[in-house]
Structure 1
Amino acid sequence: MWHLLKDMRKKDKGLAFLAVLLIAGQVFLDLKLPDYTKEITVLISSESNTISDYLLSGGKMLACALGSALLAVIVGYLAAKIAADFSHNVRGKVFHKVFDFGAGEISKFSTSSLITRTTNDITQIQMLVAMGLQVMIKAPIMAAWAIVKIVGKSWQLSVLTASAVVLIMVVIGTLMAVLLPKFKTVQKQVDDVNRVTRENLTGLKVVRAFNAEKYQEDKFENVNENLMKTQMFTMRGMAFLFPVMIFVQSALSLGIYWLGAKLVDDISIPLNGTMTEIFTAIGSRADMLGDVVAFNSYALYVVMAFVLLLMIFVMLPRAQVSAGRINEVLNSDIAVREGKDDGRQTEEKGSITFNDVSFRYPGAAENCLEHISFQVNQGETLAIIGATGSGKSTLAGLAARLYDASEGEVLIDGKNVKDYSFRGLYDKMGYVTQKAVLFSDTIEGNVAFGEAAQAITEGDVKKAIDISQAQEFIDKMEEGLYSHIAQSGGNVSGGQKQRLSIARAIARNPEILIFDDSFSALDYKTDKELRRRLSTDLKSTTCVIVAQRIGTIRHADKIIVLDDGKMAGIGTHEELMKNCEVYQEIAFSQLSKAELA
């Protein structure tokens, strides 16, 4: 928690210091009220006072109460502002940290957990900061100041008050020890509810197609009920504190008046004494009665300080857990770090080289790829084919630096990819993911998405759409290029999403285009025409194509055949048909000998 708070902006720290001063002033005014209460009590005990004496003391009490209320409003405003700025700052840090994550870090935390940490967890800390400035600072000051006020007035009443404080601390400490582990469980269970909800929403079509509504409902009910039971346990424990506090507060007040009555009664009035002795005894009784009334108010302020702290204790455990989860994100190591080369000063252009590259996923027992070596020059087309799970997408991801090679080196334009800044590297590339991703925007906004080395013009967008074979279905839309695309492309087909994703990569005018199984949803005619346009309109662009279909890659300049993470062969289609058994098996499983001939 402190690690997050110490990074608070200087402006907010200044406002927090001002809030502390105002809170001290508020406590001072609050603790002046019992003094005036005692003063009025003493005045009542004397018959020589006028109404103006009461009005003066009452006016002072009213001024203190109004001053305290005004300071409370100002402190509340400052606390809300500081908490909002603090959460804005932390949320920005978490967001930018997640943006630096690679695939390994994302899989470690999971998408649902990262969303919860960015929203719910930060909100928990924001609430604690807002309440803490008003309560956590006020309560200790109030308790300490009130104790100073009551010390020396009566050791009997002081012992009674101390006993009440010890009882409260024992109850709070016991409950916190029992409930804190449960609060950690609550945050994890919120992640589970978030995960199952996302699965239901994103997989709604599949759920309905397989009549799995009841299964998904039971699945959600299970995680939801677990969360409810844990929260019920923690809330019942917290609810137990409030009646305990009220009981202690009432018992303390009753005890102070009972003991105070005995102390007042012990001051005897000498009826046979002189007038001076009689008035002195009466004055002593009046002073003691005033002390008892004031002591009761101070003692209740001490207990009230713990009542205020109780509000924080309700929020503190969850906020501590949330702070720990946020720090896990902020302190996590980034596996893929950018270099400093902006990519402008390179002798080569559009070349890709793998020098004895091996790769192993974090935590895996074996390498996913082993001893991969090849070179592709500008304008050439490299195809990668192999069985499912052979490492095709991983190989493409290494070229795009989604991961870093465990062994060996990957070169782009003759330089190690680790030396490039992210912007310098991705200005050279257009990458089309295996799963087409579109954003809630217009078609034009999706195709012109992001920034490139040169500004993407409307002409670039139209050219990319034409090459990607997307013009046909765009023309049928009512608003054409400015038609709206729903989140994740929910209002277009799989093939249309792939074509728009391909257009987005082409619009950047990159040196290298990487297609990670990006033609799978295209029909054969569209596939053929798209590849023809790539070869004619983008002759100087290097293409890397990951594919399952022989027809998609048979005309590539080089074809890499992967088998269980190893290179089973490399060459042209004709060469591989002669000397690569794995490639032959794939080819004959898809096409007849006549078609291959």
Structure 2
Amino acid sequence: MKFKKVWHDSISFIKLIKTDHPNIIWIIVMGALAGAAGPFTQLFFYGRVLNKVVKGQYQECILDIIILLTAALILNLIKKACDQSVIVLREACADTIYLKTAEKAFTMEYEEFEKTETMDAIRRVQGGENSSGGISNQIQSIYILIEKGFSILFSLAFVISLFTHVKTDSRNFFSSIWSSLLIIVVFTVIFLISLKLSAISYKKFYEVEKKNQHLNSLGEYMLALMYNYQYGKDIRIYSMQGLLDHYLKSIMKNINSIFLKWSTTDGVYTGVIVLLTQLTSGLVYVILGGKAIYGVINIGEVFMYAGAILELTASIRSEIVEYNSFYYRTEYLNTYYEFINKPNSNYTGTLPIEKRSDGEYEFAFENVSFWYPGTSSKILDNINLTFKVGQKYAIVGKNGAGKTTLIKLLCRLYDPTEGRILLNGIDIKYYDYEEYTKVFSVVFQDFKLLALPLSDNLTIGETSEEEGQWKVLEKAGIRNRIESMPHKLNTQLYKNNGEGVEVSGGEAQKIAIARALYKDGPFVILDEPTAALDPIAEAEIYENFSTIVEGKTAIYISHRMSSCKFCDNIIVIDGGNISERGTHEKLLKENGIYASLYNAQAQYYA
């Protein structure tokens, strides 16, 4: 069962690396064959030359030496060339897989990407790579396994030829077939015992690694804090050094204790394997010496067979160790194959989005309910709602009411559990996902800016005239600040990647608004867009909101009720339901949830 799984995982891994580097397997096979053939070519010709020297046939040795040197040179050149190619391809394959993983992470369903199981799988791979090697190491293991496999085959060919060196009429043990059979039997038994002991050792190592996954993750997190300047102020002001030092020492102590216990056990198993292989080597020398004494084989053949059998011993030992290393890595590296080839089952729509210069994109929620996978609590319950073209909407409600979830459904970050969402009368799941997302310009509550040049944050790497960038920065009220930066639009944000400029939370929020405006989607969504702004900057956003959205359909989510006055329609969500809707004046007269929230805030401004 174990071998079958390893074989299946090996094929998956090879498929993964062959896609962009189809020659790597042939290079590995050629290099492995040349590397394995080298020692046996030398043993064969050394034996021939030694026999001829013993017989005094010095002239006849010259041709053998020439063939030996030529073969050794050719095999060595092939091996060196393949070794160098594999070194380069190992890194290239690793980079290719990392890029494919990143591409998949960027394009897979957000609902799937956000799952705990997905994140745990990625963390498990990263932890495994840090402790036991990654893609590059796995390719090297394949190389070694194939090379040692060829070595074992060559060794067995030499050992089998021993069966031809018998005296059928002899009752002497060394002259009979039984001595050769004994070597085969002993090697088989030692191989099986070594394989079993090595498997037990690696099973324990795998268990240790599983136990250490959480400790390793926590340790890496703690170490990362040391180099992250953004935590520097809090660590110093709150004197966190002692707490972090305590955690680090405790983690290291536990990790070292677990590995010390495993290494002691592994040392015992390794010692037994080495002892058995050494005893086997001693037996080989005794049998070959006996065969030479009784004239079954000559001195050159003693040298040749002894070398071949010792090579067999070393190859078997290496094969076992490398096999178990390879097997262990497949446990986590196969996650790459599964992750990259995971189908995007929810992003199968193919309809193009109609390109409309009038921006008339109307959305409708029909009996939409939603609860997160694995839970039974409804976040949204039977929502029926239409967003009419060109109108400005405010969505309000208490924390956890479902406001942001509604936006996630609209943006297709999640699909409704029940009901459907329509764009111009067509279910949004039938639209091409990439085209669909172009409809929206969104500033999420937890937006992120990249530690890259400001221009790249705005244009997302597209070639653009600077005039358009300055225009949206002006609208967002951040142009003056950008003009004061050392490299203006080309200024690096944050210091994660070297010299950069730190921007405040309010400045970052304005840049995020500018990014949304630059995208120029016909449907604008602003989720708490002024949460980090000072009162003056916030007032400017409110006063210029109509200018900012320029007649587009807009949704504004906020906890500040005073900001809803400029909206055409206010939607109040409570407990996953639409409890109220209307204009600011209408909802105040109804004296419901909205009026309660508004009056609760207004008293502080009276």
- Normalising to structure 1: TM-score of the pair? 0.85
Answering whether residue 343 of structure 2 is matched by residue 343 of structure 1, we say no
Aligned residue for 1:163? 186
Task: Write out aligned runs for 1:184-583 (5 A).
Answer: 186=209, 188-189=213-214, 190-197=216-223, 201=228, 203-232=231-260, 243-244=271-272, 246-265=274-293, 267=294, 284=295, 287-313=297-323, 315-332=325-342, 334=344, 336-345=346-355, 349-449=360-460, 457-486=465-494, 491-583=502-594
Contact 2:449/2:512 (<8 A) preserved: yes
C-alpha separation between the residues in 1 aligned to 2:235 and 2:139?
42
Letter of the aligned partner of 2:113 in structure 1? E
Deviates more, 1:171-180 or 1:432-441: 171-180
Partner amino acid, structure 2, of 1:556: C
SS in 1 for 2:544: helix
Rounded to whole Å, the distance in 1 between the matches of 2:461 and 2:422 is 24
SS in 2 for 1:544: strand
Give the distance between the partners of 1:560 and 1:524, measured in 2 at CA: 24
Residue 18 of structure 1 and its aligned partner are, at CA, apart by 4.9
Distance 1:428 1:462 in 2: 22
Cα distance in structure 2, aligned partners of 1:373 and 1:580 = 23
The 1-side partners of 2:20 and 2:396 are apart by 57
Counterpart of 1:279? none
How far apart in 2 are the matches of 1:423 and 1:469? Answer: 30
Q: Residues of 2 paired with 1:181 and 1:412: CA distance?
A: 56
Instruction: Determine if the alignment matches structure 1 residue 9 to structure 2 residue 25.
Output: no
| CA distance in 2 between partners of 1:526 and 1:180 (Å) | 61
Cα deviation digits, residues 415-450 of structure 1 (max 9, x gap): 332222233222221111112311122323322225
Residue 409 of structure 1 and its aligned partner are, at CA, apart by 1.7
**Range with bigger deviation, 365-374 or 350-359:** 350-359
What is the number of equivalent residue pairs in this alignment?
Answer: 571
Aligned-partner SS, 1:592: helix
CA contact (8 A) 2:392 2:567 kept: yes
Distance 2:20 2:89 in 1: 9
Q: Matches of 2:329 and 2:319 in 1, distance apart?
A: 15
Change (3 A) 1:400 1:114: same
Q: Does the Cα contact within 8 Å between 2:562 and 2:598 map onto a contact in 1?
A: no
User: In structure 2, what is the Cα distance between the partners aligned to 1:580 and 1:197?
Assistant: 54
Separation in structure 2 between the aligned mates of residue 577 and residue 476 of structure 1, nearest angstrom: 44
State the alpha-carbon separation in 1 of the partners of residues 387 and 17 from structure 2: 50
Q: CA deviation at 1:59?
A: 4.5
Q: Which residue of the partner structure matches residue 271 of structure 1?
A: none
> 1:129 offset after TM fit, Å?
1.3
The structural deviation recorded for 1:363 is 1.0
Change in CA separation of 1:113 and 1:526 when aligned onto 2, cut-off 3 Å: farther
* 1:327-355 Cα shifts (integer Å, max 9, x gaps): 44235454641522231256971433222
Report the equivalent of 1:150: 159
Aligned letter for 2:601?
Q
Aligned partners of 1:557, 1:120: CA distance in 2, in Å? 55
Equivalent of residue 198 in structure 2, options 154, 175, 179? 175
- The higher radius of gyration belongs to 1
Q: Percent identity among equivalent residues?
A: 18
Cα 1:537–1:435 change in 2 (3 A) is closer
Which residue of the other structure, out of 67, 70, 73, is the alignment partner of 2:80? 73
Aligned partners of 2:359 and 2:522 also within 8 Å? no
| Separation in structure 1 between the aligned mates of residue 118 and residue 28 of structure 2, nearest angstrom | 39
Aligned partners of 1:438 and 1:446 also within 8 Å:
yes
Distance 1:83 1:459, change over 3 A: same
- Cα distance in 1 for partners of 2:494, 2:116 equals 29
Q: Is the 8 A contact 2:34 2:76 kept in 1?
A: no
After superposition, what is the alpha-carbon deviation per residue over 1:358-415, rounded to whole angstroms, capped at 9, x for unaligned?
1111111211111222222222111111111111111122222221111122233443
Is 390-399 or 234-243 further displaced after alignment? 234-243
SS in structure 2 opposite 1:363?
coil
SS of 1:403 mapped into structure 2: coil
Instruction: Please list every run of 5 or more consecutive structure 1 residues that lacks an aligned counterpart in the other structure.
Output: 268-283
Q: Which amino acid aligns with 2:517?
A: I
Counterpart for residue 43 of structure 1: 52
CA distance in 2 between partners of 1:356 and 1:116 (Å): 40
RMSD across aligned C-alpha pairs, in angstroms? Answer: 3.2
Inter-CA distance 444–68: structure 2 relative to 1 (3 Å threshold): closer
Q: Distance in 1 between matches of 2:361 and 2:335?
A: 42
- Residue 97 in 1 paired to residue 108 in 2? no
